[in-house]
Amino acid sequence: MGVKKYLIIIISLCKFIWDIYKLKLFYKMNYSRLYACSDAVFMNWVRQSIHLINEEKYRFTSFSVFFTPERLQEVNVLYWEANQIPSDKVYLDIQAQATENINACVIECAKFYQACKFDIENVFPNQKHIWNQFGFNDYEAARKSARAMFMFYSDFILMASLHKEAMTEATWTEETYTKITALKDQLKASMDQQTKSRIDRGRAADERVVRLNTIYEKLSKYMKAAKIIYANIPEMLRWFKFPLTSKSTKSKLIELENQEDMV
């Protein structure tokens, strides 16, 4: 029975390590932005540009047969799809909640272990080698992180099973063992949720960037044509420019974000 539980713990730890590896690997797959500003700023600019191009479409269609209604509709569809993807803030909030859940689990695990520790000392008085089997000498390090606490509880379950006869004769019940396992499983579930939220955030960012990059490429044709179409109308040409780069001053970025009332 002990060997079986030990194997289960090893498999569980391997799965956890694999989840972390997949998370790191996924982050390496993130796409680079063609536009040099935040997603929010770029999407606001795209909305304005679509509206403006739609109002000025006769100039573009007169300039070149390249600018068909279907081309602008493609941009509209991509913009709509990008808008359906939850913002990064949504995923950050989910991630923050997952972190809070993990912290709460670690605290609960620590409190319950302290109660168990009291019973262990009474059942095995002055037997420090057995105390250390139950993790007395590893506890302080374990309580510093969720991962360490999860591994600590995995070992705790193994040792609790090894000394089950002595513990149940003196003080523990089946509920005690159920509680230990439940706390470990709860902590693992919370860590899995945090990992998932990070992966979901990265996936959503990639999906958004892919669409916005495509929009960038399609609108670049309009921006290029606008330099010729509005060469002698500077007050119009200024609206046919991509957003300011991330190196621009904060005041200029705020000005750009406040252009919502332009159209």
Six-digit token string for 41: 């700023």
Tokens 């179409």, residue located: 229
**pTM beyond 0.85:** no
Rounded Cα–Cα distance for residues 161 and 177 (Å): 8
If you ran DSSP here, which 8-state letter would residue 124 be given? Answer: S
- Each residue's pLDDT, cut to its tens digit, for the chain (263 residues) gives 445 445 555 555 555 555 555 544 444 456 789 998 999 999 999 999 999 999 999 999 999 999 999 999 999 999 999 999 998 899 999 999 999 999 999 999 999 999 999 999 999 999 999 999 999 999 999 999 999 999 999 999 999 999 999 999 999 999 999 999 999 999 999 999 999 999 999 999 999 999 999 999 999 999 999 999 999 999 999 999 999 765 544 444 444 444 433 33
Those residues whose C-beta lies under 8 Å from the C-beta of residue 42, and which sit 6 or more positions away, are 33, 35, 212, 216, 243
Orientation of helix 39-55 relative to helix 250-257, angle to 10°: 50
Tokens 């923050």, residue located: 96
Comparing CA positions, the residue from 252, 210, 216 lying closest to residue 32 is 210
Rounded Cα–Cα distance for residues 255 and 263 (Å): 15
